[in-house]
Structure 1
């Protein structure tokens, strides 16, 4: 699996909204690339609908959403109808086709030995193609989350992480466990107290010398 901090590999692919080159398509936006082992699988059906229902939340954070499943585009179009019917949300973002498994291998979700076709492969064969990548405008991977096939993803958590990533990209801060927007953050350990006084003149709470909680404005 690709590690955090590396550049997300660029690729060209057919999608339900036409052919794209990934880096060009992403532009100056943040991105969420989330993968699925096969079309017409039950948990993934609920996930793609849930993501579609959160379109406005991702848009206001300048985040583009891109799904990938190993099946071809025609299959994606058929599956999209089921997703809308089951969840009440029509898919409103591109779905990548990866029938030759090239992108799944490129992103480390399948080994080179997986072959070069999705035909004949079951969802269980592709069980490791259930990963969320959050990618920054600099094209670097900021988050990697891999899920088992039996556990649906929590996209509220993805939004929470993006809020943290965007905050800490702008300010010398980190966020504590279970942090949500509006709550206190932690001054980054790399910031000296003298520098912190200039950056955060409102002051901070320090239960330990190495923990400095500060209100975020």
Structure 2
């Protein structure tokens, strides 16, 4: 089921309960870019490292007008308890407050609407768990990038940040970024742009 959303598809306007109250996804994004990422389960060591890194990247994301939001299959109450672990992992006060929300997904509805369930991975009750997905949405609520990782592989958040910078640049300027591009490197003018305009 994961990967049902295709590039340039509009995000479903999911209604969900989160660690900071209920949201409608489009309203939550507003005019911002958005990174939505899912984790298979709360309290697992690998997922905790990822959400810890997400918390550390919050200032960079805010600087770039990017809202981050996570989704995991457990309840909001579990997410709040897990937030303490995430903060403790980061060497901070173990509070329930994180710089992003986590969507409650116990009944799987948000994950189903977003196409984030992994049909092969199941919990003890035989219910499918969420895959390790990254979706990046533009301010138009359309999908700009998706990456699907297996449950055993942690994400590369440096790459996710690099891609956000690239997507924002190429949304504003009619350019493309070459292989291994990093912020500040040279870019390419799109071949569809007339030569005079390219100059």
The reply to whether TM is greater than 0.5 is: yes
Aligned to 1:194: 196
Larger radius of gyration: 1
**8 Å CA contact 1:174, 1:185 repeated in 2:** yes
Q: Find the counterpart in structure 2 of residue 161 from structure 1.
A: 163
1:104 equivalent among 103, 111, 120: 111
Q: 1:59 aligns with which of 32, 47, 62?
A: 62
After superposition, the Cα gap between the structure-2 partners of 1:147 and 1:190, relative to the gap in structure 1 and judged at 3 Å, is same
3-state SS, counterpart of residue 135 of structure 2: strand
Q: Which has the higher contact order (CA 8 A, sep 6+)?
A: 2
Q: 1:111/1:36 Cα in 2 relative to 1: closer, same or farther (>3 Å)?
A: closer
1:120 to 2:122 alignment: no
Which residue of the partner structure matches residue 42 of structure 1?
A: 45
The reply on whether 1:33 has 2:36 as its aligned counterpart is: yes
How far apart in 1 are the matches of 2:177 and 2:166?
Answer: 7
Alpha-carbon contact 2:118-2:131 (below 8 Å) kept? no
1:91 to 91, 98, 107: 98
Deviation at 1:150, TM superposition (A): 1.7
- How far 1:120 moved relative to its partner? 3.0
Cα distance in 1, alignment partners of residues 115 and 27 from structure 2: 21
Q: Distance in 2 between matches of 1:52 and 1:111?
A: 25
CA distance in 2, matches of 1:121, 1:46: 26
TM-score (normalised: structure 2): 0.90
Flag the 1:19–1:121 CA change in 2: closer, same or farther, 3 A. farther
SS of equivalent to 1:179: coil
- Summarize deviations over 1:73-102 as a string: whole Å, max 9, x none: 110011111111123356221100011111
Once the two structures are superposed, residues 26-58 of structure 1 have per-residue CA deviations (whole angstroms, 9 ceiling, x without a partner) of: 100000000011111111100000000011100
Query: Which runs of 4 or more aligned residues in structure 1 lie more than 4 Å from their structure 2 counterparts after TM superposition?
Result: none
How far is 1:111 from its partner? 7.0
147 and 162 in structure 1: CA distance in 2 versus 1, 3 angstrom threshold? same
Q: Secondary structure at the match of 1:149?
A: coil
